[in-house]
Amino acid sequence: MRPIMVAGNWKMNGLHADAQHLTQAILDAALAPTVPEVVLFPPFTLIASVAALARGSSLRWGGQNLFWENHGPYTGEISGPMLRDHGCRYVLVGHSERRQIFQESDEIVFRKVMAALHAGLTPVVCVGESEQERESGQTWEVLERQMTAILPALGANGQQANLIIAYEPIWAIGTGKTASPAQAQEAHAYLRSLVARKNPALAQKVLILYGGSVKANNAGALFAEEDIDGGLVGGASLQAGEFVQICRVAEQIGRGG
């Protein structure tokens, strides 16, 4: 049984006081220490604020992005070793907002995945189709293309599931239009089958999170699906009570890994 994970992507939101409030609310909820694993992705400027409170607890944190070089003349960029230096264990890679707004190609996503792995971070790699791609029947093709780009990195350092996949249909992100549990399960099973083509043992181990308008009232049905190993939560992760409730839902499902 794979463990379950709940991750909060704060995107470009929050100031120091907000980070303190949100982090403290999760710590106060005293979730079971390993079930679920809860990870916060604050903006870079708030990583230290989260870390100051969460260090020593079971709560984890990570960066929303990284650059593929470790240091040098890359004004405005942040590297994997810098994130590690701030206690990050995870980093988001290839979020659809980065793919769309910042033109991150599959090749760039792969370079970032490798940079994260070299820095000792676990990349949470986002894949997902747009509304138009779904409506024109291209969903599986798009997912296969995005997965083919990152699969060479999977298991690169042994038989560990060294990365996490987040299935985030773009039409469901920030829109309130959640994929139905059946739609999400179908996509997750497909993604797992793509991993299985490369490595059947790792396909059973790799976590595949669902993202796209996850809320406390739909998390239970989504997380109960066989191939859905938790959620990447955007908007709802900025509301302490709602996010804690989503974590509680995951806790009740209680997959210990």
Which residues contribute to the site for ligand PEP (CB under 6 A)?
9, 168, 173-174, 211-214, 232-236
Kindly tell me which of 46 and 202 has the beta carbon lying closer to ligand PEP: 46
**Selected catalytic residue, list 95, 104, 129, 133:** 95
Least spacing, CB of residue 231 vs ligand PEP, in Å: 8
Is 120 in a helix, a strand, or coil?
coil
Distance CA 38, CA 14 (A): 19
Kindly tell me which of 94 and 212 has the beta carbon lying closer to ligand PEP: 212
CB atoms inside a 10 Å sphere around CB 154: 21
Q: What are phi and psi of 127, to 5 degrees?
A: -135, 160
The answer to whether 187 touches 179, Cβ cutoff 8 Å, is yes
Q: What are phi and psi of 205, to 5 degrees?
A: -95, -30
Least spacing, CB of residue 73 vs ligand PEP, in Å: 30
Distance CA 15, CA 18 (A): 5
Residue for token digits 């701030």? 86
**Selected catalytic residue, list 129, 168, 188, 242:** 168
Q: What are phi and psi of 3, to 5 degrees?
A: -70, 165
Is 50 in a helix, a strand, or coil?
helix
- To the query of whether residue 188 is one of the catalytic residues in this protein, the response is no
Q: What is the DSSP letter of 137?
A: T
Angle, helices 139-150 vs 106-118, to 10°: value is 40
- To the query of whether residue 95 is one of the catalytic residues in this protein, the response is yes
Q: Which amino acid is at 102?
A: F
Least spacing, CB of residue 139 vs ligand PEP, in Å: 17
Least spacing, CB of residue 235 vs ligand PEP, in Å: 3
Least spacing, CB of residue 112 vs ligand PEP, in Å: 16
Residue 38 structure tokens? 């809860």
Kindly tell me which of 11 and 203 has the beta carbon lying closer to ligand PEP: 11
Distance CA 17, CA 194 (A): 42
Provide the annotated active-site residues.
95, 168
